[in-house]
Amino acid sequence: MLQKKSKITTLDVFVLLALLGALVYVVYQVKVKLNYNWQWGIIPQYLFRYDAESGKWVSNYLIHGLLTTLRLSFWGTLLATILGTVMGLLRVSKSLFHKMLARSYVELMRNLPPLVIIFIFYFFISDQIMPIIGLDDFLRSSSAGTQRLFETLFSPPQFASAFISALFTLAIFEGAYITEIVRAGIESVEKGQWEASHALGLSKYHSMRHIILPQAMQRLLPALAGQFISLIKDSAIVSVISIQELSYQGTQLMASTYLTIEIWITITALYLVMTLTFSLGVGKLEAYMAKSQA
């Protein structure tokens, strides 16, 4: 593929100027018309605060929220990938029942408002399933080391049930998109690969597992990474069920400090830092994959 050097055209300059103008206008409105009293000085302490007891700097609400968002996104993507792979396999199966099952799942998830899905699944999982698993009891009776490990990987033990329920809810939601990605990946593997594999006497299962799926997954890697970024954004929705991720922390802080604009600008910046960093990474990954494919 030919890489065109991007040139800045008159139109670009015009658009940039318009954006700049809009920004100036907003700042002017806030500053002069609203007579808004900026108090940026208060914000940093919500990122890191000085702990007098231990004499150390420790992370505070916003960083906690950011980490929770990252944990939710990471485990959520992982779970969604597993679910999406299973459903994707059903989607390309010859059996009509399998196909319908996977198709119904995908259509249901994609045609309901995420908020509705979150409420339905969250209450179902946390009410019906979590007590059966008995995670809370397990954590309460487990050693301090296990509890700390759980806190590092997932969430503080006292919120375990809610966190895990939210995690599964997000995974079920996100899994529908990954199902379609996996299906596309499997279908993108050349027919010749199936034929060579069958001609060697490999069963359908072995062909899928050793020949088709590994190639599909390799091609899917960038798309999956993209889905991870989506989940960083989409996970904000679980703030409605009181999971203390970044958006939730923002709402809470706003309610207690009334620094609406400062806080939301900070939250915006934090989300952008996460998503843009990972986007850059995905771009690199894509370029790398494209090179290794050639």
Partner 1 sequence: MQEKKLGDYIVTVEKINKTFPNGVCALREFSTRIRRREVVVIIGPSGSGKSTFLRCLNGLEEIDSGSIVIDGIPLDENKKNRWEIRKEVGMVFQSFNLFPHKTVLANITLAPRLVRKKSNDEAAEMAMDLLRKVNIPEKAESYPSQLSGGQQQRVAIARALAMHPKVMMFDEATSALDPEMIGEVLDVMKNLAEEGMTMIVVTHEMGFAREVSDRVVFMEDGYIVEEGTAEHFFTNPQKERTKLFLSQIL
Sites of contact with partner 1 (CB under 8 A): 190, 192-193, 195-203, 206, 210-211, 214-215, 218
Q: For residues 206 and 233, which CB has a smaller minimum distance to partner 1 in the complex?
A: 206
212 Cβ contact list (under 8 Å, min separation 6): 186, 189, 193, 194, 197
84 Cβ contact list (under 8 Å, min separation 6): 174, 175, 176, 177, 178, 179, 181, 182
Residue 274 CB, shortest distance to partner 1, in Å, is 31
Q: For residues 221 and 241, which CB has a smaller minimum distance to partner 1 in the complex?
A: 221
Residue 41 CB, shortest distance to partner 1, in Å, is 55
Long-range contacts of 33-37 (CB under 8 A, 24+ apart): 36/261
Q: For residues 198 and 233, which CB has a smaller minimum distance to partner 1 in the complex?
A: 198
Residue 198 CB, shortest distance to partner 1, in Å, is 6
Residue 220 CB, shortest distance to partner 1, in Å, is 13
Residue 97 CB, shortest distance to partner 1, in Å, is 20
Q: For residues 86 and 202, which CB has a smaller minimum distance to partner 1 in the complex?
A: 202
Reading the block at residue 38, the tokens are 């900026």
Between CA 274 and CA 238 the distance in angstroms is 18
Residue 225 CB, shortest distance to partner 1, in Å, is 19
Q: For residues 32 and 199, which CB has a smaller minimum distance to partner 1 in the complex?
A: 199
Beta strands in 16-107 (DSSP E): 48-51, 56-59
Between CA 86 and CA 186 the distance in angstroms is 12
Between CA 156 and CA 230 the distance in angstroms is 24
Instruction: Give how far Cα 201 sits from Cα of 95, 180, 205, Å.
Output: 22, 29, 11
Between CA 293 and CA 287 the distance in angstroms is 10
Q: For residues 197 and 249, which CB has a smaller minimum distance to partner 1 in the complex?
A: 197
193 Cβ contact list (under 8 Å, min separation 6): 211, 212, 215
Residue 204 CB, shortest distance to partner 1, in Å, is 10
> SS3 for 18?
helix
Residue 292 CB, shortest distance to partner 1, in Å, is 9
Q: For residues 29 and 193, which CB has a smaller minimum distance to partner 1 in the complex?
A: 193
Neighbour count for residue 269 (Cβ, 10 Å) = 10
Q: Are 146 and 153 in contact (CB under 8 A)?
A: no
The identity of residue 97, as a single letter, is F
Q: For residues 193 and 277, which CB has a smaller minimum distance to partner 1 in the complex?
A: 193
